Amino acid sequence: MERILDTTTNCRGNEIPTALLYQEGGRLYLLEVNCWSSNYLGLGNCNCINHPPIVDDPVSTNEVIERFGVEALDGFEKPGDAQLVFDAFGIEIDELETYLKVSYHFNINPLPGLRERTDAEIVFGEDPDLLVFPDLLPGTVVFIINSRGEISVREA
């Protein structure tokens, strides 16, 4: 699924997208114009040799809502685990798992630092299927981290 969120008319009179939201595997990405003088896009005379004319970055659900409104998310599928991790911690799931693995390798407990950084529910557990959360409201997202530095995401 993809949705054009903003457009502009270039020097050639063509309407081009300047912000495009798309989803891959439950993860949101925002493709945006990076150079507003890009010859490649017909916006000016910059050849964009030292910088990309367009950037393609992961984006949090909150940022999409703040910048484009909640309607921008209409029609997209439910967020996947990678999106939920990015929304809670601000980094990609593989980057966070690398941090966790390195921390555990050096016998450092990463959970207190993670809990300080976010309001998300974070627990330690080896088998996420055996955990229950009777004190949490239904629909609360829980991040379960095991001793191998892997993250599982469950709803209470």
Using 50, 70 and 90 to split pLDDT, how confident is the model at 25? confident
C-alpha 131/C-alpha 138 separation (Å) is: 14
pLDDT at position 134, please?
A: 87
pLDDT at position 156, please?
A: 84
Cβ neighbours of residue 50 closer than 8 Å, sequence gap 6 or more: none
pLDDT digits (tens, 9 = 90+) for 34-64: 999 999 999 999 999 999 999 999 999 999 9
pLDDT, greater one: 36 or 129: 36
Percentages of the chain per state (helix, strand, coil), in multiples of 5: 30, 30, 40
Cβ neighbours of residue 52 closer than 8 Å, sequence gap 6 or more: 34, 35
What percent of the chain has a predicted confidence (pLDDT) above 90?
88
pLDDT at position 96, please?
A: 96
Q: What residue ranges do the domains of the chain occupy? A: 2-77, 82-155
Decide: 11 and 5 in contact? Cβ < 8 Å: no
**Which of 3-17, 87-101, 129-143 is the least confident region?**
129-143
Mean pLDDT of 66-73: 96
To which residue do tokens 């993860």 refer? 27
What percent of the chain has a predicted confidence (pLDDT) above 70?
100
pLDDT at position 6, please?
A: 96
Question: What is the pTM assigned to this prediction?
Answer: 0.86
